[in-house]
Structure 1
Amino acid sequence: MQLHILKGYIQNVYLAQQGDSLLLLDGCSRADIATVCDYIQQQLALPLTALKLIMVTHMHPDHAGGAHKLRRLTGARIGCHPKARRWYGGLLGRTAHLIDVGLTWWVASRLGKPKRHIWYNPILKPDLLLLDEQPLPGFPDWQVLYTPGHTDHDISLLHTPTKQLYIADLIVSVKKRLVPPYPVCHPNQYKQSLKRVSELAPNQLYFAHLPPRAADNINFDAILAQAPTLPKNHWHSMRNRIAHALGRQTRSH
């Protein structure tokens, strides 16, 4: 197994190669499609049809935005957790999708990147629904780990022979400190997912927004200590701001 790491729009893009077959460990963003296709054809000297499977770890724009178009271009199948399909459903879901697209552009601006076209269908239409500990079709050395918390449908991907693990957004970095991501929609599930990764003791961890590092160099207890006890997401932040504003208005009278 060879793991190719590409620099994406705002995140790392991981292509796992097994012979002449390729597995994309996450659906990347709409802005990353040309990067992925060029790498396959120019650097690996393979046809686009070598991409056989696109995994979507969760539905945020930098993890799902390129999946549908890459499927059209390559013929690859899309796999995800069953709950991923409903994440942006309904009026609240569509509103959250708009916010998340805006946040992606904000992160890009902080990284000095230009504003790119990243819009994508918020309702994923996968070919494969994969559950915890299920091997990936066509890539049996890879296994799904259900690691919710950031959303209700996050998955990590484990290469079982080498114990290398891609955890997407389970851990991020702020001011060079490892911290929980934003949002954390399900705090208790997030803590359980983090403990599960810690207890698995993988040899190497791969992140969407950090360079790879050995798991034994990570202080999981310190990250757990920073995890919120209540949901930390768009809706709770908005509600808290409204409550704070109303409280100040009441006190002023």
Structure 2
Amino acid sequence: MAFPEAPPIRLILDAHTHCGYTVPYEDLAAEWKLGGIDGGVVFSPVEEIYDRYDPFFTDSQEYALKRRRVHEYLLKSASDTIFPYFFVWNDFPRIPDGFFGIKWHRHADEPVYAYGTPSCDRTIEEICEKRLPIVLEEEFQNTLSFIRKIDGRTIVIIPHLGHLNGGYFKLKKAGVFENQHVWVDTALAAEWEIGDFVSTYGSERIMFGSDYPFGTPSRERRKIDSLFSGTDLKAILGGNLLRLLGNKAENFCRA
């Protein structure tokens, strides 16, 4: 999958934030303003998708309603600089129009995805057909299996440089980052991890992220500003995200 070169940056964009009824957009926007950030990716807080504290949780009408409401909320929040991502869960619905990417998320002590089921496979095929980038936060072995299943048909983004996918160096040792269809975001990652990634793989597949409200956008941006300059800084702070989104953000890719 080929991408054009990053355009001159006119926007600073955050590639990893949570937003919904429990984390209102107004609060996020205020934090972005403090950090001189123009917008970015928004996806639902976990608590509006499933019960993360019940490892045996399957589903309920309450959570089905929460998911529908928060995704409608995100679509209403969309603008020229706000890019909503759809948070996939085990109901595996069709992906509504208007979403720029996918959030696929669970931790080791949380309810599991129904991998291998026809509905899961159908959703993955739809995501790949639409070339929607996937922010994948999963256990280590599930991360490896998922990337193999995607097989380069769309971009997989490892958040936090892999901190919650088994760890940065464990993924690096496994060769995950050598895959040109695997990108990363910097949200809450250590400076040495960020620096090692760029020195090893370049700055074309790494994006600034804050993980708001768990991270502070202005503080996370200062971390990137302290590490890079010139074309690397421009790419990480916004150019790579615009390049990733392609036609959906074409108005901001013009010089």
Same-fold call, TM cutoff 0.5: no
Structure with a larger share of its residues in helix: 2
Q: Report the TM-score when normalising by structure 2.
A: 0.31
Structure with a larger share of its residues in strand: 1
Larger Rg, first or second structure (1 or 2): 1
